[in-house]
Chains A and B, each alone.
Chain A
Amino acid sequence: MRITKEEIQHLAQLVRLKLSAQGGSASGGKDEEIKKYQKQISEILDYVSKLQKVSTASVQPCTGGTDLENVLREDEAKESGKETREKLLAAAPQRAGNLIKTKGIFNFKK
């Protein structure tokens, strides 16, 4: 296997996924999902490793499909208006007046 269970778990933590909590809808058990990803991602990494064979010593990396140049503009604040603000705030799961509300970062003992 190209990737370990521990690596999968570490990556999941970094991207804020809790693999063991769900267990995967299709795969059943807790460890099952990590194992399944380990196997699938290892297979994909095996497959993509064929790129290592390509000689690219003097090749520039390509970052996009067409030869676009940077688009620059002044960094100016623009008033978006009450209506837009209300629409955006209305999309938030929780709000308090004109603020978006979230859970706290720390748990305080009461």
Chain B
Amino acid sequence: MDLSELTILQAHQGLKNKKFSSQELVKDCLSEIKKNNKKINAFITILEREAIEQAENADKKIVSFLSTQGDFPYLMGIPLAIKDNILIEGVLATAGSKILSNYKATYDATVIKKLRAAGAIFLGKTNLDEFAMGSSTESSYFGPTKNPCDLKRVPGGSSGGSAAAVKSKMCLGALGSDTGGSIRLPASFCGVYGLKTTYGRVSRFGLIAMASSLDQIGPFGKCADDLAVILKTIEGRDSLDSTSADLLFSTELPQKKSLKNYTFGVPKECFGQGLDKEVKKIIEKTIADLEKKGAKIKEVSLPYLDYALACYYIIMPAEVSANLARYDSVKYGYSAEANNLLETYLKTRTEGFGEVVRRRIILGTYTLSAGYYDAYYLQAQKVRTLIKKDFARVFKTIDALITPTSPTTAFKIGEKMDDPLTMYLSDVYTVPVNLAGLPALSMPVGDIDGLPVGLQLIAKHFEENKILDIAKTIE
């Protein structure tokens, strides 16, 4: 059997029973990468030598853990892929941009430190839309990632490389980041599991910032269990990230429960205009099945959801314009040759940022300008409050919300690049979750002509355990 096909828990069991070593596991993944990365373009950087070294160490640690404690951490010896906006010391961290194309991280992100301590192995850094801005992984300076289910189609974005790597067995699990759907959309388009964590649950220290009131790191995997073991390892308060929540978390391995325990809310706003008919059929059939098995289904209304995308497209670019001011060609990264400092700034930023990034910086600066601030940014922040309240109200009577992850299946490469508004609509069901800071999971529930359809489960703040249980029960 090909070891790269295993789930994390299966691989853990195999390592424990000495059926194979971490080195064998890593080599199987590396051989998948060698075979398929040229056509899929999931990885920007492949850490072959480092991964094999890490695996040798992990194998030794596993032996000593087994002899002293009889068990070892779930992720010990498990090969993972990391989105290229998360820093690994000494390794390129490009964020998919020319402006960071030569930047080697000077420190480990907190999530990397935690994974390292648990004995996880880093196979490489995965492709993404430039600075995680996009829904298709097409805007990367390193070229688009292809969807493993159909190479003519996008994998979704912005964490398209991570989702494609999990789908095509190049790794057992992966990290992504989610600002408006960047974990859930690629999970949906590629047919894998992805979890956007509650704002504040996972430290963002060492995540290259895009829109700071929205960004969160989260896991990709082949099943709910795998999401849980990665989350369990990376979560928790970090004094280096002042937005990390001062709470004690304890993600548990998900349990299959009776569906009779659950009341699901189905927001009518997510089943109207714009939703592909075939996608709708699959999601409605899944909901009907849940009801048959005893779940209570309740139609709910979140009237302000219709404003979420507009709200997001003011708040996100505004924060982007501030966060990306730091790329000045002086301290690190790409630096263009010019005669004076101003010319250096202009030339570096113009050559270093791609089209999508430049557009968002200009838009964000506009909506923050004197005279426009109240009408755009402040109004968007107030609408954000209303969206958050909408969610809080419906969660009083339900356990979780069910929606499609995206209105369509994966679209063709090149189809939407020149039409930002149409591209944005891919995120219409995922964006509200980020505005409200909630946790949400995307899981595959069917396909249309081989293209996966994702179901989104949304819960209250910090209720990741609940949606993981539900996902495990449905899968």
Contact = CB atoms under 8 A, between A and B. Distances in A.
Whether chain B is bound by chain A comes out as yes
A51 B314 CA distance: 10
A65 B434 contact: yes
A54 B349 contact: no
B342 A105 contact: yes
Contact of B386 (A43, A49, A59, A103): A59
A15 B198 contact: no
What size tier do the contact residues of chain A reach? 35 or more
A19 B307 contact: no
Nearest to B434: A65
A18 B347 contact: yes
Given A59-B385, A68-B243, A91 B106 contact: yes
Interface string B402-420: 0000000000000000101
A87 B347 CA distance: 26
Contacts of A77: none
Interface stretch (B38-46, B51-59, B151-159, B352-360): B352-360
B350 A18 contact: yes
A21 B343 CA distance: 11
A54 B308 CA distance: 12
Contacts of B341: 102-105
Interface string B320-341: 0100010011111111001111
Interface of A: 3, 7-8, 11-12, 14-19, 21-22, 24-26, 37, 40-41, 43-45, 47-52, 54, 56, 59-66, 68, 71, 84, 87-88, 91-94, 100, 102-107
Given A7-B366, A51-B311, 17 more contacts: A17-B349, A17-B361, A41-B363, A44-B420, A45-B363, A47-B313, A47-B421, A56-B382, A61-B378, A61-B382, A62-B381, A62-B384, A62-B388, A65-B213, A66-B199, A66-B437, A102-B330
12 contacts: A14-B365, A15-B365, A19-B350, A37-B358, A41-B363, A45-B363, A51-B311, A54-B379, A56-B382, A59-B386, A64-B199, A93-B330
Q: Can you list the 6 inter-chain pairs with the closest CB atoms, starting with the nearest?
A: A65-B437, A65-B199, A61-B381, A93-B335, A56-B382, A91-B332
